[in-house]
A and B are shown apart, each in its own frame.
Chain A
Amino acid sequence: MIKVKIDGKEYRVKPGITILQVARENDIYIPTLCDDPRLEPYGGCRLCIVQIKGMPRPVTACTTPVTDGMEITTTNEYIEGLRKTIVELILSDHPNDCMVCEKAGDCSLQELAYFYGIRTNPYYGERRRYTTKDNNPFIERDMEKCILCGKCVRVCSEVQGVGAIEIAYRGFTAKVTPPFEKDLNCEFCGQCVSICPTGALMGKSSLGKGRQKDVKKIETVCPYCGCGCNMTLHVLRNEVIRVSSRPDNFHEGWLCVKGRFGFEFINSPDRLKRPLIRVKPRDKNSKELPVPDLNDFREASWDEALDLIANKLREIKDKYGPDAIAGLSSARCTNEENYIFQKFFRAVIGTNNIDHCARY
């Protein structure tokens, strides 16, 4: 353990970790744009600058390891002045259309502009204009809003192991892009969307569905594979409009394409809404793959459907015994549903003919 002093207060910390890490562990706020604890330190945005006693120039907290006896100042007029200038420079070629931006209310840049009270901009200058649109179906890429923090590029290669995008060109024309400025064609995990501090990357299926106001957030678990990723459903007026995942869960907030962008089925018009009873007799001779057709059924009330099921099951049980009945349960149902389903077969029907599709 070594000792450091931050803003006059002493802390005992592990050697080798960065100033920013120490600050985070102790709830000391240092603004950042390009840092994420889940990625390697980058040192690109310079917003996290701090002063160290005995050093002529401010250093970036995210890339500077603490040393014994270090005395650090995280905020004063000089530092805040520099930070404000940095934000102003970033905003100088930013579209500033927060009014209609999807990210409003959840945007790090907007938040910084707010805290530094940036209204008019002395640096306002030439803006980047990108007219070509990326036509991939998952991710809206609006590179005019990109602040080149490099997080998307890094998460794609460091975490996702894909490397689908890179920062091409230099200076004013620098730009995040897939190779040869083609449309994005990747695993569409959306890690980049989740980590982007601005509205440059957004999920297409969420566009125009709602921003932050009145949105309820509900913690749940992905319905797809056995990884069991935790997800937050963003719900507006009884519709799931977006999915996110908290960085503090067991999978660090990463999801795959199905978890992140695969929620549309919930509101599909094809969802079954009433019990159905068959009207068209089954064609026993055909072994062809059946074609689902609502016209083979008529709608029924719950009472009618449930009575029919209960009567049929009782009749078959009386005639052939309980072992003439079997149940298949689902790996997509909850534990509680699976439990009562097997209980139903064992305790109510009286058979152990109960299984699930365990192959995958």
Chain B
Amino acid sequence: MAGLATVFGSGAMTNSIPEIENNDLLFVIGSNTKENHPIIALRMIQAVRKGAKLIIADPRRVPLVRFAHLWLQHKPGTDVALLNSIAHVIVKEGLIKKEFIETHTEGFNEEFLKNLEEYTPEAGERITGVPKEKIIEAARLYAKAERAGIYYTMGITQHSHGTDNVFAIANLALLTGNLGKESAGVNPLRGQNNVQGSTDMGCSPNTYPGYQKVTIPAIKKKFEDLWGVRLPEKEGLTASEMLFEAEAGRLKAMYIMGENPVLSDPDTGHTVKALKELEFLVVQDIFLSETAAIADVVLPATCFAEKDGTFTNTERRVQRIRKAVAPPGEAKDDIWIINEISRRLGYNMNYAHPEEIWNEIGMAWPAVAGITYSRLERGGIQWPCPTIDHPGTPYLFKGGFPRGKGAFTVIKYKPSCEEPDLDYPFILTTGRMLFQYHTGTMTRRVKAIEALYHEPYVEINPEDALDLGIRNGDTVKVSSRRGSIVLKAMVTKRPERGVVFIPFHFREAAANMLTNSKALDPLCKIPELKVTTVNIEKFKED
């Protein structure tokens, strides 16, 4: 898989935000860009104003659909079928870029083509619900564009359907040569401000900083030399595995820095139970979150305005953040806290300033070695930036893939674990809205936002509402196999029939009380956050 896998695994955009304006085709799939990445959506609107075509694939009528030339309303969880059938048409109609495929890719073989065979537009229509004419049109628009960029949000986790989606997307870009050039590419839009940075920095069970695998002995050795200690051999647990291990009593202690998994993770009941099983839980945060509420020790941390450091945005741009105000009370920044605990455990870190840490990161990861705090004074720099005179890299893979060739991947559509049935006839998707953010710890403390958007709601299609006798603003009960919540119904054409949407920001009706963290189906071993089946009824006070 060479370079592509590394990069896609890391979820970095191949291209950058300012380039979007010069795309001549934008294919936005599974991203409510106008609400979740508002500034990127502005660039997309500029591109459309300049004549670019916009294709949106989303089960919901997201706000950006207003600007779209083509809207593919596929059923939740059927992305792979949709993408494969688009690839099918591109191949069948001879719209592939032969030269690019020959020189820059591998795996464009019998097996790959054979797999695509079955994803005819008709099959695509049957699985996704998108009319076959639209699938064909999308394929033609995408393949015929000079500079076509794909934009999506990182599926679910790196261990799920999400990966398949990414590969199916990569296949499209490889078929049409839309990589390694300006204003094109494969562009996952990362949600939280520094999610790119935290993966870059090696907060992953299988990689050190810079996507260097913990299981490769030479790499382990390099970090052992850098840090002056022996390092563990085997890969660690992923976030969702940690919770299962905790629930099973095998994981004894957790240290959670600045996250609120109780609200953000699927199946709240399971998360709460797992965390309560721990012998010892430390939570470091700026507020007493729902997760901090079950901790043994809670440490007061500083927020972005109270510290120095760097964030890396979704287009790999490393940027300085600067201390503007003093922290409240005795709150301390995370670096001081970790230094102190380390010292008590016999390992001296003693970093006096974040800049010292950044310089060490440069030693550990060559791709940022050329980025220094003094250079960042003049603005952000996009990695890779290996040397001090390197300008940074607005788009990746110029002149070929880093380690040889981009590889096609054979991807098969797998139905979601939960399919609607009589008891739970609706598909629930969860997500964000423009005004609130994540689990709301910050935005729910902004008065103006709360004044208008303090109430949890479930979006339901007018026809479904009619069938159920539900009117706009009615209080309804939404239940799944795991739990139920009570909230207001918002009757809107945004979701199609049979699909409902709940934003997960609100603790009063926590959407993740309903979602699934466990495989119900032995075939499907992954948590599936975007597809849960639910039932809806009018709420009656007992």
Contact = CB atoms under 8 A, between A and B. Distances in A.
Interface of A: 136-138, 158-161, 187-189, 204-205, 216, 218-230, 233, 235, 238-240, 249-251, 254-258, 261-268, 270-278, 282-284, 286-294, 296-297, 300, 302, 305-310, 312-314, 316, 320, 322-360
B257 A265 contact: no
B307 A334 contact: yes
Contacts, number: 493
Contacts of A291: 290, 293
A264 B245 CA distance: 38
B309 interface: yes
B297 A276 contact: yes
B238 A355 contact: yes
Candidate in A307, A328, A333, A345 with the most chain B CB atoms within 10 angstroms? A333
A342 B209 contact: yes
A271 B328 contact: yes
B60 interface: no
A328 B201 contact: no
Candidate in B38, B270, B273, B314 with the most chain A CB atoms within 10 angstroms? B38
A33 B209 CA distance: 49
B154 A137 contact: no
B198 A233 contact: no
B517 to A, nearest CB: 12
B77 to A, nearest CB: 15
Interface stretch (B104-112, B143-151, B261-269, B493-501): B261-269
A357 to B, nearest CB: 5
A230 B376 CA distance: 13
Nearest to B268: A289
B280 to A, nearest CB: 5
Given A223-B304, A265-B303, A337-B335, A256 B250 contact: no
Interface stretch (B318-326, B408-416, B456-464, B473-481): B318-326
Nearest to B360: A339
Counting contact residues on chain B (CB < 8 A from A), the size range is 35 or more
Interface string B249-261: 0111111111101
Contacts of B285: 272
Contact of A223 (B40, B193, B277, B351): B193
A288 B264 CA distance: 15
Contact of A221 (B16, B156, B257, B319): B319
Candidate in A161, A226, A254, A320 with the most chain B CB atoms within 10 angstroms? A226
B153 A256 contact: no
Contacts of B235: 352
Given A251-B39, A258-B434, A258-B437, 14 more contacts: A159-B42, A160-B42, A220-B305, A220-B321, A221-B304, A268-B445, A271-B329, A289-B507, A306-B344, A312-B280, A332-B258, A334-B194, A335-B311, A352-B236
Given A264-B447, A289-B262, A338 B442 contact: no
